[in-house]
Amino acid sequence: METDMQIREKIGSKRKLQQVYDIGYFEIKRNLKKTLILIVIAIVIFALFVIIEEVQLGKGIELPVDPADFAIRFLMMINSLVLISATSYGGSIIVVDFEKLTGNILFPKISRERLFVGRFLANYLMNAFVILFYYILVAINVFIKYSGIPKILWISLGWALLYVLLILSFTIFFSSFMKSTAGAVVISLILNMIVFSIIQSVLSLLTTIEPLFILPYYATIITGCFNMPVGDRFQTITMEGVEGLNLTMTLWNTPSPQGALIGTAIFSFVFLFSAFLIFRNRQNK
C-alpha cells in the first residue's frame, strides 16, 4: 500500500502538471490572434511562390524532373518566416510581466519555474504549428504536381523546427532582461538579420573556421539538407584586387547534420537556462 507521503507526492505532481497545462492553454488563447496573423503571412509567402511558378510555366519554363528540386524553391524564405514567428512569440514570454507590472497576478500560487515551462512549451508549439502549416502547403503543392512527396521535405521540416527552438530560445533570453517586448523583438531581429551576417562576412575574409557560433548559419541546413555535399561544405573564392593583391573568401554552405544538431542543442539550452535564471531572480520595479 502507498504511504501518505507517496500519495501526497502523486497529488503534488499532478497539480504541477495541471498548472503547466493551464498556463500553456492560457498562453495559446492569449496569442491566438498573433498565430492567425502569422498563418496569413505564411499563406502570402506561399502564394507569391505559386504565382512565380505559374508565370514561369506560362513562359515555357518546365518543372524540374526531381520533386525535391521543385519543393526547395518554396523554402527560399523559410528562414525569414522562422525568424519572424520565433521573435514574435519569444519576445513577450518573460518581459510582459515586468512591462505591464502583472507579476504573478494571473497565477498567484504558481512558481516562476512552472510559468516559464508552460509559456515556453505553448509558444514553441504555436510556432511549430505555423512552420508545419507552411510545409503542409508546400507538400500539397508538390503532391499535386508530382503525385508524391519527397522524404527530404520532412527532414527539412525537422531542421526548421530545430531552428525554431534556437531562435525562440535566443529571443526569450533577451525577453528575460529587456524592459519591453518591442525591445526584445527588435534586438533579436537586428542581430540575426544584420549583425550576425556582417560578422560572418568579415570572418570569411579572415579565417577558414566554420562559423558554428553564428546563429543564422544553422538555418542553412534547412535547404542545405536537400543537396548535402559529400566532401567539403565550403567553397573558397579568390578575387583579384588592386596592385596585384588577391582577396580570398571562405564561404560555408551548410553545417553537417551532427554539427547542426549539437550546436543548436547547446545554444538553445544555454539561452533557455540563462533566461530562466534571470527570470527567477528578476524583481518588479
Instruction: Identify whether the C-beta of residue 203 lies closer than 8 Å to the C-beta of residue 209.
Output: yes
Question: What's the whole-model pTM score?
Answer: 0.89
Q: Which residue in the block uniquely carries the three cell numbers 562559423?
A: 211
Q: Where are the alpha helices (DSSP H) in 93-220?
A: 95-99, 112-146, 151-175, 181-190, 196-206
State residue 6's pLDDT score: 58
Mean pLDDT throughout 245-263? 86
Give mean pLDDT, residues 105-122. Answer: 79
Angle value at C-alpha 75, between 221 and 204, nearest 5 degrees:
45
Rounded-to-integer distance, Cα 125 and Cα 134, Å: 14
Residues 156 and 151: their CA atoms lie apart, in Å, by 9
> Would you call 187 helix, strand, or coil by DSSP?
helix
Query: Closest Cα partner for 27 from 100, 103, 94, 98?
Result: 94
Q: 148-182 pLDDT, tens per residue?
A: 999 999 999 999 999 999 999 999 999 999 988 89
pLDDT above 90: residue 207: no
Question: What is the pLDDT confidence band of residue 62, given thresholds at 50, 70 and 90?
Answer: confident
Q: What is the largest CA-CA distance in the chain?
A: 88
Alpha carbon of residue 124 to chain centroid: 9
Please give the pLDDT value at position 244. Answer: 58
Q: What is the mean pLDDT of residues 182-208?
A: 91
Give me the pLDDT at residue 237, please.
78
State phi, psi for 86 to the nearest 5 degrees. Answer: -65, -40
Average pLDDT (97-126) is 78
Question: What are residue 236's DSSP bridge partners?
Answer: 250
The whole-angstrom separation of Cα 77 and Cα 68 is 16
Contact indicator for 70, 50 with CB cutoff of 8 Å: no
Enumerate helices (H) and strands (E) in the chain, giving the number of each: 11, 2
Name the band, by pLDDT with cuts 50, 70 and 90, for residue 227: confident
